[in-house]
Amino acid sequence: MKPNYKVCPACGAIGCCDPHASYGRCMITIQNGIRKEYDLSIQRVMCSSCETTHALLADVLIPYGSYSLRFILHTLRAYLNRNCTVATVCQRYAIAISTLYTWIALFKEQANLWLSVLEQILKPSIKSLDHFESINNLPSSFFQRYRFSFFQSCKKARCGREP
């Protein structure tokens, strides 16, 4: 599902975003427990009001990353199950150990932000992953509330600073 850019995310103008360009991007996701890679074409729009451009990313994509939200949550579930070593989880999904630990830290940090919205999530666990996975528009809802994307490093998103 593509996000709706009837309202410019930068200036708030309504109906001012028009197709501008596109670019290619690789998406790594999970299907039936198996890592899959897809080449995507990402549409960009330009706001005629503030002249900024924006990528129309589906909710499963995380800005500036190749891994889908579903892939990250699936990998975190495998880690939280504790059925195998960290090295085995990373080898199974072809990711670096540092990447897994980054995702764990981001999940812990950002799950706490969602406590005000999802009070039943007390700590990062399989149950909390199930809650996150059941929210169809999680990335766009998270972005609208906090102005950076779920599972996007706060440093890359310039958290706490005005655009």
Q: Per residue in 52-83, is it b (16+ CB within 10 Å) or e — as a string?
A: eebbbbebebbbebebbbebbbbbbbbbbeee
More confident residue, 147 or 39: 39
pLDDT of amino acid 11: 87
- Per-residue pLDDT, averaged over 63-72, amounts to 91
pLDDT of amino acid 36: 96
More confident residue, 37 or 141: 37
Q: Per residue in 18-36, is it b (16+ CB within 10 Å) or e — as a string?
A: eeeeeeebebbbbeeeebe
Question: Residue 8 in 3-state DSSP?
Answer: coil
- Per-residue pLDDT, averaged over 1-27, amounts to 81
C-alpha–C-alpha distance, residues 13 and 149, integer Å: 21
CA angle 21, 26, 30 (to 5 degrees): 135
For the chain, give the percent of residues with pLDDT over 70: 79
More confident residue, 124 or 64: 64
Q: Is the pLDDT of residue 133 over 90?
A: no
CA angle 66, 71, 121 (to 5 degrees): 120
More confident residue, 29 or 142: 29
pLDDT of amino acid 61: 87
Contacts of 82 (CB under 8 A, 6+ apart): none
More confident residue, 149 or 5: 149
Question: Residue 25 in 3-state DSSP?
Answer: strand
What residue ranges in the chain does DSSP mark as E strands? 17-31, 34-47, 53-55
pLDDT digits (tens, 9 = 90+) for 15-64: 888 999 999 999 999 999 899 999 999 999 999 999 999 998 887 888 88
Q: Per residue in 88-124, is it b (16+ CB within 10 Å) or e — as a string?
A: ebbeebebeeeebeebbebbeebbeebeeeeeebeeb
Average pLDDT, the chain: 81
